[in-house]
Amino acid sequence: MHSHGKRGRPPHDDQLTPAEWRVVQFVRHGLTNPRIAAQLGVSMDAVKFHVANILLKTGLPNRRAIRHWDAISKASLLHGKDTPMNDNLTLGAIGQIARTVSNIQAAEAWYKEVLRLPHLYTFGNLAFFDCGGVRLFLSEGDGGESASILYFRVPDIHAAHAALKARGAEFTDAPHMIHRHADGTEEWMNFFKDNEGRPVAIMAQVKATAA
C-alpha cells in the first residue's frame, strides 16, 4: 500500500476503525447504547451502526460476545505484546476504591471543593480523584448495586486475567482500556466476581516506553 509520502500507518489497517474500537471499550465496560452515544456525542443510530459493523467484521455472534472479546487495537501500547503464562500472580496494592453516587456533577464538585481531593480525570459518568496514591472512583449509579468495588493493581492485566481465570475466577468482561492520558499512558481494567457474586477488579497502567 502506497503511503503517499505520509509517515505512519494507513488510516485503518486495523481490524476495526478507531471509532469502532472506542465503542468496543465502552461495551466491555458495560455501558448501554444511550450512554455510549452520550459519551461519544453521536446518535443512537451511529452507535447501533458501529456495533453492527463490529459484529460483522469480527464474526462475533452478539453484544455479549463483544464484552468478552479480548482483542487489542493496533493503536494500543499492549498490541503485539506477549502474555506470559504465569500462575505466580500476586495482586498488588489496592489501587482504587469505587463508590456509587446519584449525581456525578454534584459529587465531583463536593469532592473537589469540600474534601479538596486532586481531580485526576472524568470519563462520562465516572470521576477519578487521588487519595494519596489510591484512587477514588465515583460512578453515577442507576439505583442498582452500591457496594464498594476493590481494584487491585497488577503489572500485566492480560496475564493476571489468564492466571485468575485458571484459578476459577468468573470474569464479566475482557480487559479494556478506559482512558488514555495526554502522555500516552493507558488505563486498563477488568472485572470479575467474588464468591458471593460481588464485583472485584484488576487494573493496570501501561506507559509508553522511551525509544
SS3 assignment, position 208: coil
pLDDT at 199: 86
Quickly count: other Cβ atoms within 10 Å of residue 92's Cβ.
Answer: 14
Q: pLDDT (tens digit, 9 = 90+) per residue, 22-80?
A: 999 999 988 899 989 988 999 999 999 999 999 999 999 999 999 999 999 999 999 88
Q: pLDDT (tens digit, 9 = 90+) per residue, 178-190?
A: 889 889 999 999 9
pLDDT at 154: 92
Distance of alpha carbon 20 from alpha carbon 71, whole angstroms: 13
In this structure, whether the domain defined by 18-68 belongs to CATH 1.10.10.10 is answered with yes
**Mean pLDDT of the chain, nearest integer:** 86
Contacts 24+ apart (CB under 8 A), 164-168: 164/89, 164/192, 164/202, 166/87, 167/87
Confidence category of residue 145, pLDDT binned at 50, 70, 90: low
Distance of alpha carbon 111 from alpha carbon 117, whole angstroms: 6
Say if residue 11's pLDDT is above 80. Answer: no
Say if residue 6's pLDDT is above 70. Answer: no
Confidence category of residue 194, pLDDT binned at 50, 70, 90: confident
SS3 assignment, position 188: strand
Q: pLDDT (tens digit, 9 = 90+) per residue, 109-137?
A: 999 998 899 999 887 788 999 998 898 98
- Cα–Cα–Cα angle for 127, 130, 133, rounded to 5 degrees: 140
Q: pLDDT (tens digit, 9 = 90+) per residue, 147-169?
A: 688 899 999 999 999 999 999 89
The residues spanned by each domain of the chain are 18-68, 94-206
| Cell numbers found for residue 198 | 460481588
Confidence category of residue 86, pLDDT binned at 50, 70, 90: low
Provide the strand spans (E) within 25-153.
Answer: 94-101, 119-123, 126-131, 134-140, 149-153
Mean pLDDT of 96-105: 88
Quickly count: other Cβ atoms within 10 Å of residue 180's Cβ.
Answer: 14
Domain spanning 94-206: CATH superfamily: 2,3-Dihydroxybiphenyl 1,2-Dioxygenase, domain 1 (3.10.180.10)
